[in-house]
Structure 1
């Protein structure tokens, strides 16, 4: 079934996108809905953002519903999956996108133990156990896609603990691809680079920062949420059925080496 830009459509399929109330997650939810999937929009605290995501999807002719669950706390996955099962109303889950993540907290010496534990609870523990507990809902031939970061291949002292969490989910994706392959389930990670969203736009208002990052990027610009969402949509499609256990760099070629 043909979909947007020639990517196989998702008509009749269901998807869960965590952290879909804004930014990249919101774009992924909208993109999958545009392909025809019924999308469950997970959010932690941003109820108005989740409602806006659902409203935009429905206004465009898609189907979506919002489910609230704070990640990184006791019972987080159970709360989320209870809402997901209620929303699916007996349907299987076809696509699981682990997008929700806690942001970098600073370099060694600045990150507290509590912040370190929170990073791992949200960025590693939550997706790991969400996958584990969602497997009975996930159909054979389904898709699991987890958002990583180019921070795993760059030495950025300001993001050490954050990069560690993303390296963990990359390893998780490779090993689960091997484990779940017999069911036809593909498991991949997508690693964005510098991506400007409505939520983080102020970060890039530092004079000269956009030009500096663009100068280190092969495609000579910052990324946008849609750039990443399109890669996720491809991995969720039938066209990507032979791709599993991979980390797909969606950074526009950030920090590949000296530009001459």
Structure 2
């Protein structure tokens, strides 16, 4: 167990070094990176960007499933399966509606990404339905679910407050470029720093670490999630929606808060080992 904790500290330290290094590089070269000429064929980037909007619905739904099933088990509640399933789809449907309203670059990719999200969530609901033994400690599962819901929603609010505070113009308006530390409010439309899409991708990482023991299988899923985070971050840069510092800061903020929560609660004997 001690070795697993040491490995996690090493992993976290490496991640922090990489993120801080990238943030420093971005602080110097943001303008030059944003000035590079983009390809005209950006269909894949548009699809990934659409996917980034709805990704938080997956960890939020996982937390909701844990919460409801744990409450049922603890209090011996009986809920109709159809009604219970409909409750689980409330969160993804809300994100899907937002995706259609927010992402206006391609209705086709919005539909595809939304369908993909529904397939993933439907699979998760079915998985939890046939694996009832997955919740062995209802009290701990309720505790974890509440932490996930509060953390993800709180960080989402913080990200949007920071967007309004820094009020940084997007790379599409390079003539208005200013460094992230040069705070000057000029328009409600200037909300480049930090990136909401990239933050959304990191929510998957948090729920993976919270609800899984640290083993080889967990590290495979964590590696896959990091690849997804990088791809979504790159799509936002390629589409000229964000600077490098915008996306890196989102990951750094989310990862820092998530790591602090995980370590504090682990010391209380409640999490992820």
* Pair in the same fold by TM > 0.5: no
More strand by share: 1
More helix by share: 2
- Per the normalisation by structure 2, the TM-score is 0.25
**Rg bigger for which structure?**
2
- Per the normalisation by structure 1, the TM-score is 0.26
